[in-house]
Amino acid sequence: MIGAGAIGGAIGAAFADSGTEVVLVARGDNARAIESTGLRLRSPDRTITAHPTVVRKPGEVVLGTHDVLILATKTHQALSALRDWTDEPVHDTAGAVVGTAGERLPLLLFLNGVEAARIAPRWFARVWSTTIWLPALHTEPGEVVVRMHPALGGFFTGPVTAAARTDSVLDEVAADFRGAGFEFVPVEDIAEHAWAKLLSNLANGLDAILGPGADLTELAREMRTEAKAVYRAAGIEYLSNGPARYGIADRLQMGEVPGVEEFGSSSWQSLARGTGSIETDYLTGEIVRLAHATGAAAERCALVSRWCRALAAGSDLGGEIPAGQAERKAALEAAFARFPDAGEPPTPSRIAP
């Protein structure tokens, strides 16, 4: 598990608790906490403390032909992780090197956006991508909180590369996830799921700017309307409400975790932890990229991306970003109102997903 934050930590703890062998690649205080006292996973239904194996870098684990790599970083961290792991040697049962991770091992992408699925095949031959339905919190070292129940979360996973489309390893992976308490749905066309999930992730940027508890409804609706116009311009189709269409929505209900206050998105958590970076350039920024490529308009998404970059860097853009939540929301509402409504897009242009 490359990345032991909210998503990687939740999966890693559940795997370890269910008896599935898992190695977490973690860093800093989080790695030390897991090694010292374990990894605590809190959900609406239970609390567990698991003790997975922890490493800090590729050279600390010996990869075998039976291993599966799961990349659970943020999208803006994926490039360095892919480069770090692709040339790691893979050993057979006798200990002989039989190839590299990029050549031999399955790579499952567990992160938001669509960019990772574009870049991963530069380094890995067997690649699957995943859309994630798992609201999770990771702000304290050694602890992850998830809000869904009775399943801990849901995943739709499908092939990205040609080798993955003829590979049967996903059957074994699905069994491990289900045994750990997750809903896991293999699909043939993961792109239509990924583009749909991206629409919901547009609210991450607003959440990062305004914080938990703010009413994002109207601002998020305007951003989705803008994004859908960009999709039409790019000729992109998407599948809305995957959990309901696949009959697992009743397993993915939001619940309260005792002692845990309302928390924000993964983008908000990056600001809360003071990481100095944020993933929104690959969420709202993906809409901006498509708009630039097609000639469509994405002013709302561009503004949210800009504000998120500034806040991650500790800047208020010379006073452009107000300090208070209410003032920030009012400023966004005023800015959004000045932008033209999303109208008919230019003639559709096929953009590679």
Model confidence at 12, pLDDT cuts 50, 70, 90, reads very high
**pLDDT exceeds 90 at position 350:** no
How confident is the model at residue 305, as a pLDDT?
Answer: 97
Cα gap 141→216, rounded to integer Å: 29
pLDDT, averaged across the chain: 94
233 vs 348, which has greater pLDDT? 233
pLDDT tens digits for range 241-267: 899 999 999 999 999 999 888 788 889
CA geometry: angle 28, 209, 258, nearest 5 deg: 65
How confident is the model at residue 343, as a pLDDT?
Answer: 55
pLDDT tens digits for range 189-235: 999 999 999 999 999 999 999 998 899 999 999 999 999 999 999 99
Q: Which secondary-structure segment (H or E) carries 13?
A: helix 6-18
How confident is the model at residue 55, as a pLDDT?
Answer: 97
**pLDDT exceeds 90 at position 330:** yes
- Phi, psi (rounded to 5 degrees) for 319: 95, -5
Q: Which two tokens stand for residue 232?
A: 């039409």
How confident is the model at residue 263, as a pLDDT?
Answer: 84
How confident is the model at residue 32, as a pLDDT?
Answer: 97
Angle, helix 190-201 to helix 203-210, in steps of 10 degrees: 30
How confident is the model at residue 340, as a pLDDT?
Answer: 87
Please give the span between the terminal C-alpha atoms of the chain, in angstroms, as a whole number. 25
How confident is the model at residue 262, as a pLDDT?
Answer: 78
CB distance 202 to 220 below 8 Å: yes
- Phi, psi (rounded to 5 degrees) for 252: -120, 65
How confident is the model at residue 64, as a pLDDT?
Answer: 98
Which percentage of the chain shows pLDDT scores above 70?
97
Closest CA to 298 of 313, 309, 283: 283
272 vs 223, which has greater pLDDT? 223
- CA dihedral sign, ordered 103, 104, 106, 111: negative
Model confidence at 325, pLDDT cuts 50, 70, 90, reads very high
Cα gap 194→69, rounded to integer Å: 20
Model confidence at 139, pLDDT cuts 50, 70, 90, reads confident
